[in-house]
Amino acid sequence: MHAASDSAKRHWSREPWVWLLIALPLTAVIAGMVTLYLAIVSSDGLVVDDYYRRGKAINRDLARDQAAADHQLHAALDYTAAQNLFTLRLQAQDYTLPQAIGLSVLHPTMAGRDQVVTLVHQGAGHYAGAVADLAQASWYVQLEADDWRLSGSLPVPGTTPLVLLPAVTGSN
């Protein structure tokens, strides 16, 4: 009889079952708030509004890959992290090299970190250009000039230059 009177006098906050019943819904509410915050802060970068226009752009990209193969372009792209500097060695067959080449450096998951750099011709097929600091990732790079493009994946940090060849290696 004495034990029954002790449990009747215990305050509700001292009962472990009460806290378990409170913790389960509270966890769901906190997880919902975190999910809502992430949904508001992050962008939906993978959603494309105009599928037809994107399809036409893919066809243009394929034509640019074919043009790179026709010019027999190949390049070696090197990134020096200490100076945030890209250097490029570009070679072509029967094609006059341009004075400037656009280099797009695209982050694999965050479009906000993408950078576009102009590589300036230094002479004899060598180009150089500076970028902002690149985080450690496997960046997608794309060289573009006139009617052609070369693309590849550049690991940062990396120790060897990235060799870029045309995506199309022969004629249709």
Is 77 buried (19+), middle (13-18) or exposed (0-12) by CB count in 10 A?
buried
Q: What pLDDT sits at residue 172?
A: 45
Q: What pLDDT sits at residue 36?
A: 94
- Residue 153, Cβ neighbours under 10 Å: how many? 12
* Rounded Cα gap, residues 100 and 90, in angstroms: 12
Q: What pLDDT sits at residue 29?
A: 96
* Rounded Cα gap, residues 172 and 157, in angstroms: 37
Q: What pLDDT sits at residue 171?
A: 46
What is the per-residue pLDDT across 42-57, written as a single tens digit (0 to 9) for each? 876 666 566 666 666 6
Query: Which helix H or strand E contains 140, and what residues bound it?
Result: strand 137-145
Q: Would you state the structure tokens that stand for residue 115, as one six-digit string? A: 């950078």
For the segment(s) 51-164, the CATH number from 1.10.3470, 2.60.40, 3.40.50, 2.20.25 is 2.60.40
CA distances from 137 to 38, 74, 108, 140, 156 (A): 22, 24, 8, 9, 5
In the Cβ-directed half-sphere of 118, how many Cα atoms lie within 13 Å? 5
List the chain domain ranges: 2-41, 51-164
Q: What pLDDT sits at residue 49?
A: 66
- DSSP secondary structure, 71-99, as one string: TT-EEEEEEETTTTEEEEEEE-SS-PPPS
* Rounded Cα gap, residues 69 and 134, in angstroms: 29
What is the per-residue pLDDT across 84-97, written as a single tens digit (0 to 9) for each? 888 889 888 888 88
Low-confidence ranges of the chain (pLDDT < 50): 169-172
